Each structure stands twice: as C-alpha cells, then as structure tokens.
Amino acid sequence: MKNIYQILSSVFIIACLLTNQKNKAQDIPFDKAHFSDRKDELKEAKKNVEEGKDQFELGKKEYDFFLEQYVAIHKFMPVSHRSYANAGDIYFKQALPFLEKAQTFNPNNAQLNYMLGFVYFYIDQHSEKAIACLEKAYTLAPAANEPDNAYILAWAYHIAMRWDEAIKYYQLAQNYLQKVKNNDAWVEDVAKKINECKSGKELAAHPVRTFVDNLGPAINTSYPEYSAFITTDESFMIFTSCRNTSTGGKIDPDNGGYFEDIYSSVKKDGKWQAAQNMGTLINSEDHDATAGLSPDGSTMFIYKFKEKDGGDLYVSHLKGSAWSKPEHLGKNINSKAHETSVSISFDNKQLYFISNREGGIGDGDIYLCQTDGRGGWQPAQNIGNSLNTKYAEEGVYIHPDGKTIYFSSQGFNTMGGYDVFKSTYENGKWGVPENLGYPINGPEDDVFFIVSGSGYHGYFASAKQGGYGKTDIYRITFLGPEKQPALMNEDNLLASVAAPVSDFKAEKIVSKGPKMTILKGIISDEQTKQPLEASIDLIDNEKNEVIATFNSNSTSGKYLVSLPSGKNYGIAVKKEGYLFHSENFDLPATADFQEVEKNIELKKIDIGKTIVLRNIFFDFDKATIRPESANELDRLIKLLNDNPTLRIELGSHTDSKGSDDYNQKLSQQRSQSVVNYLISKGIGSARLEAKGYGETQPIATNDTDEGRQQNRRTEFKILSK
C-alpha cells in the first residue's frame, strides 16, 4: 500500500497553492530572511528542528509500516487510537523536546506545528496542545506540509467531542481521498469516523442517567489499570496493572512499559482496600493479565503471553485461602492465535471468550464453548454475526442471569474506538446489540465492562481525561431522577479523582438490568461452628434437574450462588457425615433483585437431629406429592441407603388455617405419602414412621403469609442409628 502522504500529495498541493493566497497567517520558515537579527538562536533552532524531524520521521516510518501491515492483513484501517499499538512511540517521545524548543523560537511554522500536533495527539489523545498545533498548521498552510493534517485534526476534534468540527475536517479528508485511486481502506476509515461522530452527537445529546466514579488511589495509579472483574456481590475484585512493582520489574521492549501483573482487592465497609499483587504463583516475569472471574469468585481466568502461541488462556481455582497454579485451558479453547477475555455462565456450563483465530468474522470475535460434562470443554464455536462484526470485539461478559451479554466492539454504532454494547438472548437468538450510551461510552476506547449482580453498578476501564494514569478503572452507578447525569467533562472528572466513589445510596438507584437473587453466607458445623467445605446443588425444581454444583470455601466456609429470576429453585447443601440441608426459592420472572445472606449450620448424623425438607411439595389441600419433589426425595433415599441402620420419623406440619381435626388428618396423610414413596423405592418400612403434627408445632407466626408458609413443612427426625 502506498504511503498516504504520497497518494495525497498531488491532490493537496493544488489546494495548498490556492488556499495560501487567501491566508492571512504566514507560514514562517527557519531562514535568515525572517530572523536576520537572531543568527545564533536561529542556528540552535534549526538544529532542534532537524533533530526533532529526524526522530519524527523515524517514528512515522515505523508508524506507517505498521499501518501498511495492518491493512494488508485486515483490509481496513485501524479504527481507534488504541489500534495503533505503540508503533513509533520511542522516536516520537524523543522528538518532542527538540520540536518544543524549536517552536519556542518560531511558533508559526506549519510543518513544525503539524509534527508537534501529531506527537501531542499520539502521546495523549486528549491533548489540547495537539488541537492548537494542528489548527495552526492547517491555518498556516492547509494540507501543504502534511496531506493528512485534515484527518488528524478531525480525529483530535472527534476525541474532544467537537462533533461538527470533526465531521467538517473528516469530510475534507474524504473529498481528497475519493479523488485518489487505490485508497479503499482510508475511504472506509474516514466514512466510519464520520458515522461515529454522528452517533456520538446523537448519544451525547441524550445521556443516560449515570454517575461515573474513578475508583481512587487504592486501585488506580499513574500506570495503566484495566480489565477488572468482580464477584456478583461486589466484595472481591481482580484487575490488571503495568506497575513498576510488577513481578521481575521487566520493561516490555514493544511499548516501553512494565509487564502486566494481576492484582486483587477486597471491599470492606463499602470501600475497596489497597490492591495487592497476587504473587509469583499467579504472576510471572512475562505478561500475566486478568481474563475473567466466576460469579462466586472461586475461579479465575488468566491471559499469559508466549511468542509460540500468541497468548493463551489459563484457569486457577481458589482452594481455601490460596489460588492454585494456573492450568492451560486446552486446545478446544486456545489456538495459535490470540485469546483474551473470558466469561463463564452462572452454572459453569458455558464459556464465552475472545479470539482472532483464522476463520472468524472479524478482527477479534466472540466464541462459545459448552461444557463436556467431564470438567472440560467442547470445541469452540463462533457466536455468529449477530454480535461479531468485521472489526474487533473485546471484553465479553455474560451476566449471571444467563441471558444478558455485554461486550465492547469497534463495529455497530460506536462513538469512536471501542464502545460497550448489550444484547439479550431471546427466542433462541441474540438481539440487536444496544449501545449503552453516553457517558458510559465516549469517543475513546471503552472496554472490559462488567456489571454487578444487582445491576446497580458497572465497572470498566477507560482513558477518560482527568484520571490517575493512562487507563483507570471506573465504577458506573445507574441513577434515578434524584441525581443529574454526569456529563464526563473535565471538571467533574477531576472532582471524581479528588473525592472518588460516589456514596449515593442504593435505595435510590434505579436498575434496569437483569433480575436475579444472590444467595450467600457461611456453611459451618452446628456444634463446633467451624467452617465447612460442602457441596451445593442448585436444582430447577420444575425440571427436576441439577443445574449446577458449587463448593463452599474450605477455609472460610463462604459460598455465593447466583439465581436468575424466572424459576423455582431448590438448594441442597451436602457433606459426608452430615445431614443435608435444603432451601427453596421461587423467583418469578418479575422478581426484583435481592441479596439473601443465609448462614447454614450442618447437623451431624445423630439421634434426635431434625431436618426440614423444604423442597417437598404437595397439591393444594391434598396429600399428593408433586413431581418437583423428586430431587429432594432422592437425596433422602441416598442418605438412607448410605446409612442402612438409620431409622427416621417423617413428620408433616400445617399452618393454623382450617380446623384442628382437619389439619391433623391432612398432615398425617402427607407424612404417610412420603413414607409410601420411600417404601416404593426400596426403603424398608421398619425404618420409617409417619407422624402428623397438624398446627401444634409452629416455627413462625401464623399471622402472615410468610410465617404460614414456613409452618407448612415436612421434616425428618433420626430415631435411631
């Protein structure tokens, strides 16, 4: 591909000659005619210009080569500032002090202003100096010195959200480009950027009600922070940072920055604590980055870069208080290409990830793997063009509701670079991706978006102006009408750094996100109160199907289970040597978000111990056992088979509605129904005793629906062992 400066020169020179005649401002060269009384200073300035120009041109050569290679591979231009990687970075930074000294001597040289504007924009896309220099260069000699001046100036306006000015200069560049042959990639890029400005203008005019907080110095530093992941209850976070405290302290020769390491933080009293490096078992001397985290925080996905595989995905599990050594996710997920972010479904049965492997739709696609049922994964499948575009997708996140996906894309109706999109899986397909709007998205790259289980908060990485470093982690709060939307201008961003993290109360927050329940707590021994590692089955009662199995932490006993709305769930907690514990959650599709904290004390198998069977259901006002009771009854049968000398009483209880005699009779019939079922499954009748208690032993008030529901129960009690 020809260098853009070569292919545009013949067109721009005509425009230059015509326009220069009309310019009032004068393009002043570095020569004696203009600085006859400042010979020594001129000599020094010319040296600075030449040295700066030499470094600039070395950087541009590297930069242009990168563009040529990119277009040759992808057939389109990079669509964001981030896409340019670090091509020419060292040379541009070396050029800067020389060019600045030269400008101090002569501020009215078009070529010098162009070079300075380009470097300022390259180093900091929000630089006001970049716009000032590029404007001056264009005013002094429109397109004369550097034919892409209009394009770079338009891009700088674009980042500054000066939409109309950006469109104007993009159109100037477009007009030039359309007259030149063999420039399809450039024409497409400019057309896309014009559409981004139009989208940005529309979205910025109708901001979503949000407040955006920088997470502050406990998380962010002057170095890049990004790719944050949280547990659904927002109690634990992992993220990536390129700090000077990275493992090994090595500098990446490709970008001049420190290698990536993984850090973690916990939330105490509503505040994120100072981040901690996760240590040498997780971090190596090479690149180690966060790729994903399971909803309960017990499984961490890691990106590790190795030249031979282009970057692969690994997995680590939390065992007690320590993380296991990362294990390669295998060839059904990893390829010779580049695999990055990962998101696992709430039931651990689906894995979404990003890859730019051959055969994809675009520059980085979303792929999906299904569990093979044996602890591994089936071969990955491209999720299709409903979510993937010819451009790059990144930062995929499947919400714990199991049907809402968030991801960043350079395609669709972006405001510029990567924007965050949302799609919902309905009627067997993914819906049209919805731009999350401004100020969540802006003209910069907005990536690695995740959302809390409540839907009240989102987290993402952005190079917003006013942060601590090049890229910071921000928290989004979705607000109601009580608080005005944050317009993401420089003043409120600086204010958010000075007093980070809004204390806006959750009861005033409006969540339009997915509906679900978070169940969490501690599992312990009833007598010793010591934490226990136990198995937790999540059951779809209507289908009599175990959806997922989790474990509580062996050190803390903590567990966290995500329950998407729209189902009747059974929860069964099991550990060898203990009676199982069951809970029931009936969550209609309209159920609002709730966070339920339930500490569970398991009882050892001993005489006199009683357990409530919360997932045994009867037809209304009858003793007929409903089909959704099957899983609970099967657990009871397994317990009796595992302990063949156990003899139990099945007791049934009612609420206080109805007469005493009626309730006594109904409860006896229900107990006998359970006994008959167990006998039909091979349990000896001598081991079973049916007992109806009616309304005589309430465990809650009978004055409320909730209390009466608790009183209507079936229990078993150990009579002998």
How does DSSP assign 294-353, residue by residue? -TTSSEEEEEE--TTTTSEEEEEEEETTEEPPPEE--TTT--SS-EEEEEE-TTS-EEEE
Give the DSSP letter of residue 390.
S
Q: Cα separation of 159 and 164, whole Å? A: 12
Confidence at residue 507, expressed as pLDDT on a 0 to 100 scale: 38
pTM, entire model: 0.84
Residues of the chain with CATH 3.30.1330.60: 607-721
Residues of the chain with CATH 1.25.40.10: 4-205
Q: Cα separation of 343 and 207, whole Å? A: 28
**CB 45 within 8 Å of CB 112:** no
The CATH architecture one would assign to domain 515-604 is Sandwich (2.60)
The CATH architecture one would assign to domain 607-721 is 2-Layer Sandwich (3.30)
Residues of the chain with CATH 2.60.40.2190: 515-604
The CATH architecture one would assign to domain 210-508 is 6 Propeller (2.120)
Confidence at residue 80, expressed as pLDDT on a 0 to 100 scale: 64
Token code pair at residue 335:
């390829």
* Exposed e or buried b per residue across 599-615, where buried means at least 16 C-beta atoms within 10 angstroms of its C-beta: ebebbeeeeebebbbbb
Give the DSSP letter of residue 290.
E
β pairing state of 594-597 and 516-525: parallel
Name residues of the chain where pLDDT drops below 70: 1-25, 73-75, 77-86, 143-147, 180-183, 254-256, 307-309, 480-514
Confidence at residue 8, expressed as pLDDT on a 0 to 100 scale: 39
Confidence at residue 491, expressed as pLDDT on a 0 to 100 scale: 47
3-class SS shares of the chain: helix, strand, coil, % to 5: 30, 30, 40
Residues of the chain with CATH 2.120.10.30: 210-508
Confidence at residue 464, expressed as pLDDT on a 0 to 100 scale: 77
Q: Cα separation of 350 and 346, whole Å? A: 9
Q: Which amino acid is at 281?
A: L
CA-closest candidate to residue 218, choices 275, 262, 263: 275
The domain 4-205 having CATH identifier 1.25.40.10: the answer here is yes
Confidence at residue 307, expressed as pLDDT on a 0 to 100 scale: 64
Q: Cα separation of 663 and 93, whole Å? A: 85
* Exposed e or buried b per residue across 45-78, where buried means at least 16 C-beta atoms within 10 angstroms of its C-beta: bbebbebbbebbebbbebbbebbeebbeebebbb
Q: Cα separation of 84 and 64, whole Å? A: 10
- DSSP per-residue codes, 396-411: EEE-TTSSEEEEEESS
Beta bridge partners of 354: 366
